[in-house]
Structure formats: structure tokens, C-alpha cells
Chain A
Amino acid sequence: GENVEQHPSTLSVQEGDSAVIKCTYSDSASNYFPWYKQELGKRPQLIIDIRSNVGEKKDQRIAVTLNKTAKHFSLHITETQPEDSAVYFCAASKGSWGKLQFGAGTQVVVTP
């Protein structure tokens, strides 16, 4: 089955700096890669996703890149703000009906 590895497990950044989280996956058939943000005790919220027909997608301060050859994808947050502090999860699935396999998560702390 699919295996998703996520690094780093914790990330501390100064407000205004950029944050990068990286994930690798094992199943080359995977074609859907969402990123979720989860605050303590809350639901995971989809912040951005990418499908295998594109290599990069951007939404304001958030961007995701995908390298299918290397089987890795990354989340980039620019101009970080304290409200970006949360746990971020990457995930991968294949097809419209595939199960999501989650990475272990990254605790991001943005200090003012």
C-alpha cells in the first residue's frame, strides 16, 4: 500500500519568514495530494491540493509543488503569521475513489 513520509516533524519560524514542509510517497499511481491544517481539537481543514497533471499550484501565501518523477511534494508558506501555527498533514491517494494515506504531520510554530 501507499506510504507517505513527512518532514520535519516540528518547524519553528520567525513571523514573516517562509516555511517548507516536504513529503514523499511510495505508490507511483497516486495522483491526488492534499494538504490539511489542523488546529488543536479541531477538524483537518483542506488548505490546498494538487493533482498529478500539474507541477505547482499557488493560493495567496500558500503553494504546493509536485515532482512525480521523484515522488515528492512540498508545501510552501510565505510571509508566515502567528495564525499559521498549527499541525500540517500531507496526504496522497489514487483515483477518485482511493483512500487517503496521511503523513505523520508537522507542528509549525510561528513566533512573533
Chain B
Amino acid sequence: GAVVSQHPSWVICKSGTSVKIECRSLDFQATTMFWYRQFPKQSLMLMATSNEGSKATYEQGVEKDKFLINHASLTLSTLTVTSAHPEDSSFYICSARDTSGGHLFTDTQYFGPGTRLTVL
């Protein structure tokens, strides 16, 4: 159990366009999901915490108008990179916590497979 999927796995887009990335918890409910960005050979940097039914909480320095997050259900969160530019090219990874009681601990984060975004 505790499977998280992401779609798409990779995307190439032109500068100025918007890209939506989906994160789904497949076999558990997650009231909280997290979005990370990872540049090559670097660690995971938390961008925002996505809360079901409410506004996301963004980390300092992350533009909320550029990285739109929607968490409309207990199993789906989306990240939309608006007006993408080459510097937004990165590996975007989501994670989710099982808050449905299916696992003993609620602090464990399960990661999706990531989405490789390349902006030309």
C-alpha cells in the first residue's frame, strides 16, 4: 500500500506556456500533500504544502501566483507552473501522508515518481 502516482512523468514546453502536474494517492486518502523541486545533484526543496479543501501554504521565496496548487479531493493535488521559463526546468516531486488511518503512523511521507519539466 501507500502508492503515489504523478502525471506526466516528463513534459517539454515552450517558454510562456503553463504546465499542470497531477499527484494522486492511489490506495489511501491524503488530506495533506507536499510539492518539492529538485535541481540536478541537489536535495529536495519543499515548495508548498497542499491541504485538501483549503489554500496551499507556500515556502518562503516560492511565488504562489506562479506555482498554483489545487487540492480538490482527498486523493488528488495539482501543481500548475504558469508562464514557465527555462529556469523553471527541474524535477518536481510530490509526496503524501496517509491520514485515513490505513497506516500506523501519519508522519511518513510517500513520494510520487516525479515529473521532469523542461522549458525551452
- Listed in ascending order, the chain A residues whose CB lies under 8 Å from chain B are 32, 34, 36, 41-46, 49, 51, 89, 93, 95-105
Nearest-CB residue, chain A, relative to B45: A102
Task: Write out the residue numbers on chain A whose beta carbons fall within 8 Å of the beta carbon of B32.
Answer: 97
What 10 pairs across the A-B complex have the smallest Cβ distances?
A43-B111, A96-B106, A32-B107, A43-B113, A102-B43, A96-B107, A102-B44, A44-B111, A104-B43, A105-B43
**B74-98 vs A: 1/0 string, CB under 8 Å?**
0000000000000000010101010
How many chain B residues touch the partner (CB < 8 A)?
Answer: 23
CA A93 to CA B44, docked complex, whole Å: 14
Task: Write out the residue numbers on chain B whose beta carbons fall within 8 Å of the beta carbon of A96.
Answer: 97, 105-107
- Listed in ascending order, the chain B residues whose CB lies under 8 Å from chain A are 32, 34, 42-46, 49, 91, 93, 95, 97, 105-114, 116
Task: Write out the residue numbers on chain A whose beta carbons fall within 8 Å of the beta carbon of B95.
Answer: 100
CA A84 to CA B27, docked complex, whole Å: 28
CA A22 to CA B116, docked complex, whole Å: 30
CA A104 to CA B39, docked complex, whole Å: 12
A103 contacts B43, CB within 8 Å? Answer: yes
